[in-house]
Amino acid sequence: MQLSKLLERLEYEVVQGSDQIEISTLINDSRKVENGSAFVCIKGAVVDGHEFVQQVAEKGASAVIVEDEVDAPKDMTVIRVPDTRYALALMSAAYFGYPADKLKVIGITGTKGKTTTTYMIKSILDAVGHKVGLIGTIEAIIGDKHVPAANTTPESYTIHKYFAEMVEAGCDCVVMEVSSQGLMLHRTAGIPFTIGIFTNLGKDHIGPNEHKDFDDYKRCKGLLFKQCEIGIANVDDKYFEDVFAGATCKTETFGFSEKADLRATDTHLVSRPGYLGVAYKVEGMMNFDVEIDIPGTFSVYNSLTAIAVCRHFGVPVDAIKKALKVAKVKGRIEMIKVSDDFTLMIDYAHNAMSLESLLTTLKEYNPKRLVCLFGCGGNRSKDRRFEMGEVSGRLADLTIITSDNPRFEEPQAIIDDIKTGIQKTDGKYVEICDRKEAIKYAIEHGQTGDVIVLAGKGHEDYQEIKGVKHPMDERVLIQEVLEELKAK
């Protein structure tokens, strides 16, 4: 492919060489460069691609795309752009033949609810004959292929590669999680979103390697609504107007508020042995009754979002109701049967906002005791630990503090930070550093009528310690614990 073709939607300057040369591959990882590659120099959190110009030249790269001055061999083409991340996004789209133009792209942004909502939308659309791709926190789904995810929103090159594979697999639409990081780092730049969705906003992802402050976090969320045709928003969220302040799309709303275009009324909890759910009436743009096998108010929001999206695809009401009844997501209020006496579930709640939402929801079902087991990730904001400790201490009857992904920190130091938060409350707690032992304690001491939540890990099947990901799936740990208790 000719380099100028890759650059056709960008402003750029030819510093040396020519933009008329043929390119074999588009690369942003110096290790993958081969003869004839165009290498895009990305400034990462740890490594700056500009430092590898000589190295990629020796490997045979024909061109480098830069935003800073570089010392390149005379026979190498050097293209300067204002922002190489933005350039990578638009060049990737061109490299794969603009596959997003052949799909209806649905993007979901918000602090929580993104993952569950993507699966709900996919479930409904699949049920009526659409072939739906998915890109999110847990995985990418391309036809029958499932690819584990490294980031909620992958690098732009990977997104367009997935889009191209989806088109090849016969997909007609794709639903994807769009993180604020993804928007900030231009991973989704240039994608023509058919529908953009705003779920909610809470104070998360603020820190040295994330957003500098809450205003920046909020601003980045709003970028999605400058590149979609229709914006669907949670009107009940207090930051809705801020996020949509610069929106250029047509806007629709959902929520409990009377001003919502699609609203939930007559909401009531459904509880049976081993079952927690919620039912409500949909009113406004559509009118029908719905019941979901996932508890809580946030399940109403997630399903309302899915309904609002599927309305634009003309999905019949019966198909929506049937699909919502069976929509499940690994690690999102995932019930694990361990006893006839109490309920145990796994959930990904890993920040104060999502944990408070989860525990508040479960308290509404009036369990005998609400038991919350969690830890916090290392090398992340300490505020998250204090806040989660305080939330659990305030809402749970018993907190079991344990380890999560300590990364390069000492697990006990993280536990001590969580205790700082929990000690601001009257909440009872125990600390058991080993996660399996903590789960064993929770199950062994479970009482009739308890609801026990294992929070923070969710779909993850590993524990990250000092740069190494060790296999650790809570479902496996639970089974091992049950076998050990049986053998006693």
Range of weakest confidence among 40-49, 136-145, 207-216? 207-216
pLDDT score recorded for residue 345: 94
Grade residue 207 by pLDDT with cuts at 50, 70 and 90: low
pTM of the model: 0.83
Mean pLDDT within 448-464: 94
- Total Cβ atoms within 10 A of residue 172: 16
- Given a cut of 60, whether residue 187 has pLDDT beyond it is yes
Q: What's the rounded Cα separation, in Å, for the pair 53 and 64?
A: 7
- Given a cut of 90, whether residue 213 has pLDDT beyond it is no
- Given a cut of 80, whether residue 224 has pLDDT beyond it is yes
Express each pLDDT in 275-311 by its tens digit. 788 999 999 999 999 999 888 888 999 999 999 999 9
Question: Strand 38-40 vs strand 63-66: parallel, antiparallel, or unpaired?
Answer: parallel
Mean pLDDT within 384-402: 98
Q: Who's near 417: CB < 8 A, 6+ residues apart?
A: 376, 382, 385, 386, 389
Tokens of residue 448, six digits: 């009739």
pLDDT score recorded for residue 280: 97
- Given a cut of 90, whether residue 86 has pLDDT beyond it is yes
- Given a cut of 60, whether residue 136 has pLDDT beyond it is yes
Q: What is the mean pLDDT of the chain?
A: 94
- Given a cut of 70, whether residue 462 has pLDDT beyond it is yes
- Given a cut of 60, whether residue 206 has pLDDT beyond it is no
Q: What's the rounded Cα separation, in Å, for the pair 91 and 465?
A: 36
Tokens of residue 19, six digits: 């933009």
Grade residue 395 by pLDDT with cuts at 50, 70 and 90: very high
Q: What's the rounded Cα separation, in Å, for the pair 306 and 320?
A: 9
Work out the percent of the chain whose per-residue pLDDT is above 90: 85
Mean pLDDT within 242-268: 96
Report the DSSP beta bridge partners of residue 486. Answer: none
Mean pLDDT within 111-121: 91
In the DSSP assignment, the letter for residue 198 is: E
pLDDT score recorded for residue 327: 83
Length of the chain: 488
- Given a cut of 60, whether residue 11 has pLDDT beyond it is yes
Tokens of residue 32, six digits: 């993958």
pLDDT score recorded for residue 113: 87
Mean pLDDT within 24-29: 96
pLDDT score recorded for residue 125: 96
- Total Cβ atoms within 10 A of residue 87: 29
pLDDT score recorded for residue 165: 98
In the DSSP assignment, the letter for residue 131 is: -
**Which strand (E) or helix (H) includes residue 18?**
none
Cβ atoms of 373 and 388 within 8 Å: the answer is no
Mean pLDDT within 34-50: 93
Q: What's the rounded Cα separation, in Å, for the pair 302 and 362?
A: 17
Q: What's the rounded Cα separation, in Å, for the pair 424 and 195?
A: 43
Burial class (CB in 10 A: 0-12, 13-18, 19+), 35: exposed
- Given a cut of 70, whether residue 214 has pLDDT beyond it is yes
Backbone angles phi, psi at 161, to 5 degrees: -65, -45
pLDDT score recorded for residue 211: 53
In the DSSP assignment, the letter for residue 327 is: -
Q: Which amino acid is at 153?
A: T
